[in-house]
Amino acid sequence: MQTLRASKCGLSTAQLPSSILDVIESLTKAGYEAYIVGGGVRDSMLGLKPKDFDAVTNATPSQVKEVFGRRCRIIGRRFELAHVYSGRELIEVATFRAPPKKAVTSAAGMILRDNNWGSIEQDFARRDFSINAMYYQPHKGIVLDFCHAVDDIKQKTLRLLGDPLVRFEEDPVRMLRTLRFAAKLNFSIAPEILQVFKPELARLLGDVSPHRLYDESQKLFTMGHLERVLDMLIEFGVWKQLFADIPAQLTPFIRRAAKNTDQRIQMGKTINPAFFYAVMLWEPFLQRCAFYQGRGLPPTESRAQAGLDVLKRQATRTIIPRFAETFIREVWEMQSRLLNPKPQQIEALSGHARFRAGFDFMLLREKSGDDTTQGMAAWWENYQNLSIDEKEKAISAYNRQRAKSRRKNTATVDAEQDKTNSTQVEPLVKELERPRRNRKSRDAQTRKRSSDHSHSSQFESSTVATDPKAIDMDHPILRRKRVQRDLSHVIFGPTQ
């Protein structure tokens, strides 16, 4: 272990928010060791703006609570942590952890508690990358470096602590973290990692809970270097593990959307990670629509059913929260409304809550060479900038054009679109009625069904489920075998 002067590492207290300084100082004054660790130290050393600052200490969570009183809340059972409020900010304070000795387990063997406090050396050994395992004491102005992490920072190298194969097997999410940090920091991946990180190993991601994978995918989408990481996801075989049905290669639309996402983040604009999911799953959605239409379902029903199917399949990889699923389906549905709007609804549509996202989506499609938008994205782009009079003229012109092309080819217009003359826009999607069942009843259901049926795995072979509540028997979610993984020695980051 080497003790480095913080100033030599480019660190100074002036860079730090008062909240983290306050937490470290209070713990130190109370007689405990306390450090900043993880991304806060790493990013500050690299001159980047850290997302957050995490603290680590030798005080147990209840001792932390004694120091901060009502400003502190102890969270988690399996991994107890202290949340300390400083001003309006929340700092996560973890206690040094040792490898698990005797964990408290449930009857089924699941680890319920793993609060085995340890030394700083033991805490260090449980972390993932060398650059994430530097301990910074801002008041003493020192950095504890147990593994020449500073050299890795200088050489821009991402190095796992310990044997990479063992560390990936312990927690496959570290594969995603490898790609995320390599892309975000523009670091090279150490050769010993590259030696084992093959597409076959990426299959281990199939054992990770779809909830955790959704969280990780969000971090990938929102780190500001999505365009760079996409190629890596394909190269390392992670792509197929994260998404159930996506094109084998990146389409110009996906690339453009990724670039656009990064640009928005750079400009400080908000982004909705579900938007990128809508982009990624657009092709499978279209294919599924065509499948249902081929079976004679009307377009609206085909779209509704296709949306449900595609998201249901995606849930076998990453569980997208219900509100995000609704957003995705609304963006997709908006595509046909924007392509072929009823003239009397145009103004209402432009004020619809989902208009912006639907329009952005269509514009990205059009700009990436998708001519099935028939130039309507440009039309809407222009429309939004017109005065009221000009808008009326634009609608009349659109109406005339539409009538002309309908005379030519009635098939291009959904017959059902013109049933009403209302200026109100009907709901884009019907909210799903099926409640999310808890795992117990889901498992029971699964067992019951699998005893009744035999399985087939192909997407195409699934029956036309006109009842949206019905889950096909060949659906992978019902065939999923849960692998119990011992994560007791894994350090979960604050957002996990």
Q: Between residue 311 and residue 350, which ones bind Mg ion under the rule CB under 5 A?
A: none
Distance between CA 166 and CA 196 in Å, rounded?
Answer: 10
Piece in contact with ligand ATP (CB under 6 A), picked from 48-56, 235-243, 250-258, 338-346: 48-56
Closest contact distance (angstroms) between CB of 198 and ligand ATP is: 20
Q: Does 127 bind Mg ion (CB under 5 A)?
A: no
Q: Is 94 in the site for Mg ion (CB under 5 A)?
A: no
DSSP 84-135: EEETTEEEEEEEPBPPPSS-EE-TT--EEE---B--HHHHHHTSSBGGG-EE
| Site mask for Mg ion (CB under 5 A), range 20-59, x = bound | -------------------x--------------------
Residue tagged 């120091």 (tokens): 67
Partner whose footprint covers residue 345, from ligand ATP, Mg ion, none (CB < 5 to 8 Å by kind)? none
Stretch that binds ligand ATP, among 64-72, 418-426, 461-469, 486-494 (CB under 6 A): 486-494
Size of the site for ligand ATP (CB under 6 A): 18
Picked from ligand ATP, Mg ion, none, the partner binding residue 85 (CB below 5 to 8 A depending on kind) is: none
Query: At closest approach, how far in Å is the CB of 101 from ligand ATP?
Result: 19
Cβ 114 to ligand ATP, closest distance in Å?
14
Task: Indicate if 467 belongs to the active site.
Answer: no
Taken in order 310, 312, 318, 322, is the CA torsion positive or negative?
positive
Which is the catalytic residue, given 52, 123, 309, 472?
52
494 binding ligand ATP? (CB under 6 A):
yes
- 340: exposed, middle or buried (C-beta count within 10 Å: 0-12, 13-18, 19+)? middle
**Which residue lies nearer to ligand ATP by CB, 276 or 383?**
276
Min separation Cβ 477 and Mg ion, Å: 31
Q: Is 51 in the site for ligand ATP (CB under 6 A)?
A: yes
Nearer CB in complex with ligand ATP: 334/491: 491
Residues numbered 132-151 forming contacts with ligand ATP, rule: CB under 6 A: 132-133
Q: What is the dihedral of CA 445, 448, 454, 456, to 10 degrees?
A: 10
Residue whose C-alpha is closest to residue 219's, from 152, 256, 164, 271 = 271
- Which DSSP state fits 13? G
Nearer to ligand ATP, 130 or 251 (CB): 130
Q: Does 206 bind ligand ATP (CB under 6 A)?
A: no
Binding ligand ATP (rule: CB under 6 A), the pick from 38, 284, 307, 341 is 38
Residue 121's CB is within 10 A of a number of other CB atoms, namely 12
Residue numbers 172-201 binding ligand ATP by CB under 6 A:
173-174
* Residue number with the smallest Cβ distance to ligand ATP: 493
Dihedral in degrees, nearest 10, Cα atoms 75, 79, 83, 89: -120
Residue 491 near residue 126, CB atoms below 8 Å: yes
Residue 490 interacts with ligand ATP (CB under 6 A)?
yes
For position 127 contacting ligand ATP by CB under 6 A, the verdict is yes
123 binds ligand ATP (CB under 6 A): no
Q: Among 26-34, 127-135, 278-286, 292-300, which window interacts with ligand ATP (CB under 6 A)?
A: 127-135
43 classed as catalytic: no
Rule CB under 6 A: is residue 128 a binding residue for ligand ATP?
Answer: yes
Contacts 24+ apart (CB under 8 A), 312-315: 312/471, 312/475, 312/477, 313/244, 313/245, 313/284, 313/459, 313/475, 313/476, 313/477, 314/243, 314/244, 314/245, 314/277, 314/281, 315/210, 315/477
Q: How many CA atoms lie within 13 A of 347 on its CB side?
A: 14
Instruction: Quote the CA–CA distance of 309 and 329 in Å, as a whole number.
Output: 11
Q: Note whether 159 binds ligand ATP by CB under 6 A.
A: no
3-state secondary structure of 150: helix
Residue 174's binding partner out of ligand ATP, Mg ion, none, with CB under 5 to 8 Å set by partner kind: ligand ATP
Q: Which residues pair with 95 in a beta bridge?
A: 57
Cα–Cα distance measured from residue 162 to residue 133, given in angstroms and rounded to the nearest whole number: 12
22 part of the active site: no
* Strand arrangement, sheet containing 142-145: 2-5, 142-145, 134-137, 34-37, 54-57, 89-95, 81-86, 72-75
Q: Which residues in this chain contact ligand ATP in the complex, by CB under 6 A?
A: 38-39, 51-52, 54, 127-128, 132-133, 171, 173-174, 490-495
Chain contacts with Mg ion (rule: CB under 5 A)? 39
Query: Which residues are the active-site residues?
Result: 52, 54, 128
